[in-house]
Structure 1
Amino acid sequence: MAGMRSTNLQSEVKQLPLIQLPSCSAGMQGAVQMRVKNPQTSADRLSQSKSMVLQDSDLPPRPLSRHRRNQSQHMSGAAGIEPLVELKGEHLNVAKISEGGKKQRKNWSSVWTVLTTDQLLLYKDKQETAFKPGGKTDVVQLCGAVIAWTSEKSSRKNVFQVTTNTGNEYLIQADNYSTASKWYDAIRKTVDASTRDNKGFPLQRSNSSEHLPRHSSLPGHGAASPNTKRQNPAHRRSINMFSSSKLKHSASDSADKNGVKNRLKKFMVRRPSMKTLQEKGIIKDRVFGCHLLTLCKREGTTIPKFVQMCLDAVEKRGLDADGIYRVSGNLATIQKLRFMVDEEEELDLDHSQWEDIHVLTGALKLFFRELPEPLFPFTSFHPLVEAVKIKESKVKLQTVKKLIQQLPPPNRDTMKLLFSHLHRVLAFSKKNLMSTQGMGIVFGPTLMWPELDTGNMAFNMVYQNQIVEFILIESREIFNISGK
């Protein structure tokens, strides 16, 4: 009986089916399978072993980092950069100052400006939109462009410059700073984004692996290629070689600069003084641009010789020329005359090349404008302005006369000769059509100006003209000129 029971029990065990264990969780269902040891091929065992590895589709999604820098690494191209701001139209003042590297005349014009993803469209009018192809006045390509604020290219405020990669330069301006700043920021972001799109993705950090395939070391993804491993050290070596050569080059440059500095220092120590150069005649004092006191001291007079020669020549030609001292002479001829005077060449103002009387009057006015300190010294400017404000004519006359008498002899004597000459010019006012007011306008800013122009220029010019006009009217009393 015992033998029969054991035989029946063994037969029942052989007939029992395989029992499969339930999965641990619903999320991991199908990821792990029970393998019953049974005689199978090696290929079947390999396929069952691969089923133990989680595939890419089975992995839970990786959360993005909230850090701005890390978040940008998960995004490719320009999408990871700041979002572009498209401004759909506004009136701005635009001036094109260069085209293809060639400078152009700066002409400001109010244009309807539209910013796209890679261009700045300029329309003559708001109605001339992209629906009219001929309506665009200009298209500014922003890829590879440079944008910067500028205060040197224009006297206007809130001006920035856009330079394209083809050499075109534009000045853009808005009366409101907030408007100009808004457009500047938007164009700058567009320039950065469009340039980056055309030149590739931004450089990744050296320790970043965002662009590497995930689980590259796992079966089915393939290992890193040996070429890549060989390229990285070579790439590093090329960078090191470039940086080392750059360092050597900068070191040699610094050594050359130090050598140049040392030679310059030795030269500056051994250089002759200004007095020695003047005594040898290497450096000569000019006539135009020389201080009045220095020039008169060098010539041994109280009136510059050139001023005396000009006034004599003008009176010899005649004082009835139409617009005398108001009409400008030929500038090239005036500069030629100035060069001859500065080089101390023999000068004959009766020569035919100086026959135009306006050349002589223009050269005389240029002489007074080129003085480092005007004929009316800086110290007398404000006292004369206060004196001309006096309402009582006698007090005004005595105050102005006293101030002029206190001037240095070269200033006073040259002033006396000039105003006496101008007084004789006004005697022919019916023919030359010049008046005391016209003379004041011509000679006011020529004979006097403040040392520091901190006030209003128009305000100063009014008093400059009034002072010269008053001295012209009262020249006989102020300079004690005879009634001849």
Structure 2
Amino acid sequence: MKKSTNADASMETQNPVHQGTGAVQMRIKNSNSHHDRLSQTKSMILTDVGKVTEPISRHRRNHSQHVLKDIIPPLEQLMVEKEGYLQKAKIADGGKKLRKNWTTSWIVLSNQKIEFYKESKQQALPNMKTGHKPESVDLCGAHIEWTKEKSSRKNVFQITTVSGNEFLLQSDIDFIILDWFQAIKNTIDRLPKDPNCPRKLELFKIQRSSSTELLSHYDSDAKEQKPEHRKSLMFRLHHSASDTSDKNRVKSRLKKFITRRPSLKTLQEKGLIKDQIFGSHLHTVCECENSTVPWFVKQCIEAVEKRGLDVDGIYRVSGNLATIQKLRFIVNQEETLNLDDSQWEDIHVVTGALKMFFRELPEPLFPYSFFEQFVEAIKKPNNDARIETIKYLVEKLPPPNRDTMKVLFGHLTKVVARASKNLMSTQSLGIVFGPTLLRAENETGNMAIHMVYQNQIAELMLSKYSEIFCSEED
């Protein structure tokens, strides 16, 4: 009973203000000591339910960890400046380039660093307890800038750290991304530019504990830091500066090359660059071939008339675009083309390539200067007057345009003649070819009205083909 009374009398309560949770210092007399004041101290935490947790270990290293973790609250937790969802992509890790992979991340900006979570911190808390830590980016000495070269997305800026990590952040909403950029920039500007500042900030945290023992322990750890870490950091910084100078040299050489490069005409005269079939002016293609109708147009028409006149939806159904592009490439490279080859078995690929040829002409088959005249002709109330006017305009066209038009519409009349099988009427072909062959140079009026006229002109020239091209008959 006496020992119990002495033990009760020697208990000293710390932090009496706290009611639910408090720290209790319990002094236990040492019976082996000659001095009554010598004692051992154990710290216990009283929880809300009255349970006592395990006492903190008196080992020096463990004690310092508990002080840093429990006694001193982390600064970044006390000074969260901004948080929210953004699109994030990490494109470099320690100077090593990574494949760009955009993900949605919950971004938490504190006074020193940025943390990336897969979801908001409240939702991420259960995962954090199981050991899943967020990715953290130290902003000390970091660089932030807007970038358009690294991504085709809009509103993208890049953060580059002193360790060689690079991150892209993006949002489609302008004011959100601007607010984030300014907040991160302000944080970086407030931090020291010295790459060793994270260690200095850590030292500042320890100083707040007013423990000289912990400071001496930290200083001993700092002295034991391996020199290769510092060398690695200096290498990365030097490597980054070297990359910048290399890029500047490459840009300078490219600029000199571009200013001294030969003109397109010179390269064409030397035969280094040849005019392509697709995308060239009709008269240029015909001049190169010494003809008034491109050979590619003739080949396509011949293939369709051989095996496509009875195909349902001919010219209306689209062919495989990849195969059409392959055919286009072969034609542009002036390779031998055989449309009877099995790879061109689908006749819709041939018709698709023919429509693409006319669609990619810099100036359509109906020249721009004739567009308004053909539109005025189709507006005439008298049908005979419309036919005569259009016939007159066709005769005034340049030979390549006139002869190619005659061959094409003559072929389309054969398609209409098989309408009972291919289900392609004059109206259907007018809808397909009208906007492709006839369009205004500057679309300033009503496009819907122009489209009606385009279709009507193509329909009239199909239905009255023999009357319009009669003077051109062989």
Q: 2:158 aligns with which of 152, 159, 162?
A: 162
Cα 1:268/1:293, change in 2 over 3 Å: closer
Match of 1:412 in 2: 402
Distance in 2 between the 1:152 and 1:402 partners? 56
Distance in 2 between the 1:168 and 1:435 partners? 58
Match of 2:289 in 1: 299
Paired residues for 1:393-412 under 5 Å: 394=383, 403-412=393-402
Cα 1:272/1:382, change in 2 over 3 Å: closer
Task: Please give the per-residue CA displacement for 1:99-139, whole angstroms capped at 9, x wherever unaligned.
Answer: 864555778x7x77654332165666x79555454899986
Cα 1:87/1:363, change in 2 over 3 Å: same
Deviation at 1:357, TM superposition (A): 1.0
Paired letter, 1:119: I
Mapped contact 2:391–2:468 kept (Cα < 8 A): no
Cα 1:162/1:334, change in 2 over 3 Å: same
Distance in 1 between the 2:91 and 2:425 partners? 46
Aligned length: 331
TM-score relative to the length of structure 2: 0.53
Match of 1:190 in 2: 187
Q: 2:363 aligns with which of 356, 367, 373?
A: 373
Deviation at 1:148, TM superposition (A): 0.7
Give the SS at the match of 1:162: strand
Mapped contact 2:90–2:166 kept (Cα < 8 A): no
Distance in 1 between the 2:92 and 2:166 partners? 6
Paired letter, 2:180: W
Deviation at 1:173, TM superposition (A): 2.5
Question: Structure 2, unaligned stretches of length 5 or more?
Answer: 1-74, 199-241
Cα 1:301/1:87, change in 2 over 3 Å: same
Task: Please give the per-residue CA displacement for 1:440-460, whole angstroms capped at 9, x wherever unaligned.
Answer: 55445543555467x69xx64
Structure 1 position 472 matched with structure 2 position 458? yes
Task: Let me know the Cα RMSD of the aligned residues.
Answer: 5.1
Give the SS at the match of 1:183: helix
Identity, in percent, stands at 40
Give the SS at the match of 2:280: coil
Distance in 2 between the 1:87 and 1:161 partners? 17
Q: 1:354 aligns with which of 344, 348, 363?
A: 344
Give the SS at the match of 1:321: coil
Q: 2:310 aligns with which of 317, 320, 324?
A: 320
Mapped contact 1:291–1:373 kept (Cα < 8 A): yes
Paired letter, 2:364: P
Q: 1:277 aligns with which of 254, 270, 280?
A: 270
Match of 2:144 in 1: 146
Paired residues for 1:446-461 under 5 Å: 446-451=436-441, 460=447
More strand by share: 2
Mapped contact 2:82–2:108 kept (Cα < 8 A): yes
Deviation at 1:354, TM superposition (A): 2.9
Task: Please give the per-residue CA displacement for 1:269-318, whole angstroms capped at 9, x wherever unaligned.
Answer: 9x99567535xxx6544333332112223333321122112101101103
Mapped contact 2:430–2:459 kept (Cα < 8 A): no
Structure 1 position 86 matched with structure 2 position 81? yes
Task: Please give the per-residue CA displacement for 1:186-213, whole angstroms capped at 9, x wherever unaligned.
Answer: 1222344468475449xxxxxxxxxxxx
TM-score relative to the length of structure 1: 0.52
Paired letter, 2:156: F
Mapped contact 1:369–1:446 kept (Cα < 8 A): yes
Question: Structure 1, unaligned stretches of length 5 or more?
Answer: 1-78, 202-245
Match of 1:14 in 2: none
Cα 1:112/1:102, change in 2 over 3 Å: closer
- Structure with larger Rg: 1
Distance in 2 between the 1:443 and 1:477 partners? 16
Mapped contact 1:327–1:358 kept (Cα < 8 A): yes
